[in-house]
Structure 1
Amino acid sequence: MACPDRSRCVFKCFQYVALDLIRKCTELSKSVESWKKALYHLAERPHAFQSGNHLGFWDRQIYQWIQIEQECNGFTQLNCFFWKSLAQIEPSLKKVWEKKLMHIQAHTLLEHLVHKVIKLDNQLEVAKLLASSLSVAAKFGVVEFFNVVFQSYPPMLGYFGYTMLSILQNAIVNRQAKIFQFLKKTFGSAIAIGNYRDTSKDTILHSAAKLSTSPQLNSIPGAALRMQSELQWFKEVEKIVPPHFGNLKNSEDMTAQAVFTKEHKHLVVEGEKWMKETATSCSLIAVLIVTVAFAAGFTVPGGYKDNQGIPVFLGSNSFKVFAISDALAFFSSTASLLMFLSIFTTRYTEETFLNALPRKLIFGIMMLFLSVAATMVAFSGGYIIMLDNQFPLVVVLLALLAFAPVTVLALLHIPLFVEVVLSTYRHPFY
């Protein structure tokens, strides 16, 4: 049977053999080019390291607790044997165990490669080789390369200048937030020293202004959220550069802001279309709930007392539940509808995609979800009044069925809601 992920299986095999070989052969090669290829090969495979894997909540907890033989010693050997045995029984656990094993082996292999490189006679060649490998690691988002290189070869920390700024630019172009955060934390205010420019006279702010072609951007759902992500990158890079960088022009006589506007012109149009389509679909539900809730508020279950206009079941607890939930459904759906309508009337500029539009969408979806839930509660309360507690089993079944629409709405809109919330309030730089 063919392996479902042949490339990873082959790399794991290569990794194990390479690690064993490099441990045994102290003089494996004195060729700089061979070390360069080995480091590049490792830097181009982010999935081999922990930073390149996105584990779910439960997998993250298991990952932290699992112990692998390579990191065990003494009394912990028994613990490692327990986890290894358990991993052979449970498939999901085995998957996490194998990932952690691969990450540890890759990290150990990287440490050995770096230690071999720094023993080369020509220290200038060492610095160039490590800098070029860091540039590749920045492109693919492998943070472990930076940790290992800076810890094993401290002189690289003082090798900031042109090379490290080009590495920073590489991280910005490829939208690697982890690398950007690491460099920002490591070098602090020194990160933007100097007026570094590439062959096109682009500063790092110009690099952030260009529309990314990175898979990181394509993985974001919705044109509006992609536009928001691009704005977040531009604003974050703008924070670390001197104020005069905003006025610097490249070879095309364009400032970074002008480049951003030009590059993202089509994304603004697509983002506006996506926002309006989303608002339209949600508005239809909100209009329906507003209509139903308004009508139900004046045609109460059981009717009114003759010539008094007082509901017959006014003193009933079920009626109170009906009245409160119907009012809540009406007000929340109205608020939701007004918020979605404001999305239509908003003047779509670049800046509105950063916070204004996403926050409106968050509030609108939240109010819509609340209105649907309240409508179902009102519906259940009305039916309980009509049945007069004569069929308790039917009432329970009815209450369960009433929340089916809430569940459906949650399945359809909660993923979008979570995406918008996380991208607005917990974007990668926080």
Structure 2
Amino acid sequence: MPTDATPDPYADPLKFGQRVQVLRERRGMTQAQLADLIGISEHTLRKLENGQRKAPDLERVMRIAEALRVRDLSDLTGRPDMHVDLFIGPGHPRLGAVKAAIDSFALSSSSEPPPVPHLEARLHAAWKARHQAPNHREVIGKLLPDLIRDAQSLVRHADSSLERRRAQSLLAQTYSLSQFFIAYQPDSSLLWRVAERGMVAAQDSSDPHAIGVAAWLMAQAHRDSGPRHFDAADAVNLEAVRFLEPLLPDASDDVLAIAGALEFELGYTAARRRETGTAWRHWDRANTMAARLPADYYHPVTSFSRAIMGAHAVTVAVELHQGGESVRQAARADELTIPSRPRRARHRIEEARGFQLDGQPDVAIATLEKAARTAPETIKYNGYARAIILEEVESTQAARRRRASELATDIGLLAA
């Protein structure tokens, strides 16, 4: 092995600071960037990495884990007894059946595919259930295997180019629904297969809305892979925005909404880069598009609407690590106007992140309790929520520690 090879952070006897350095470098982050994200000076981080400072307390460890997008806390600490998946939730019981349907390609079939209107109605019902059910992963996980197989069959049996394009649009929608189920589960390669197949199906459909949705999800997959993939996320996003732009003067509500959602995603990624002006500029553009939509409109996939823009403002402030601003934006956002239960719970999680950044951990835990009541499967699979809960489980305040422990038990993060 070459003497200058990068050490393996999972092999002892690396110290905590060395693990931080290796994982930081693998993320392509500078010391200055990481120090800014976790709220310490570059000088202090340098001393931590070179062993001149001891490992910090759990609160700081959790902030480092969040900034580095560490998937398992033991990867950062080197302690097997701290084996906790942070940004990947537990594998859902229905994940195996969904994966089998995605990975199976029948080259011939004696059975007839369902009529197009029938599959359209089932997809519409599945998306509706996804937004209304508190256990949304269980609901759509039960529906997805048959939807995937029938959509694939519809493409195989298409007799004309028009039928094939329509079938590909439905297949792209099915893959989009699949991504919501697979996200944050322990099979990242499956997520990427679905994202790529969804994009191919959308392009083959020539449906602008399907293409926009596939690009929106692909950009998120890139961004959630870490800072080194932010440029790829922006490239997909910008290409989709340019593709849709000529259509916007006469666009349907759905096309206008997906264009607005893509515009906001550019702002989201900019916020993750800590580019304040760029982030808020894209939020303003998205808000302008939202204002063109009917007051009661709500995009069936992205949740983009007039109502969601307040929640999006909270997200931008949180990603910019502006605790006070995120709390102010949370006070202005009316989460009750968000009809989707998982999206409403996600907004609560973003609010909790803001309260945590603002030094209000008790309010953060109370907010996460509300998220759990709204959609328990959302909080169970969300890495940010899990990180806050784990941090407060170790709180020196007995009442806060008890509430965090009870919440951790309720969502399955700690054994009962």
| TM-score, with length taken from structure 2 | 0.31
| Larger Rg, first or second structure (1 or 2) | 1
Normalized per residue, the structure richer in helix is 1
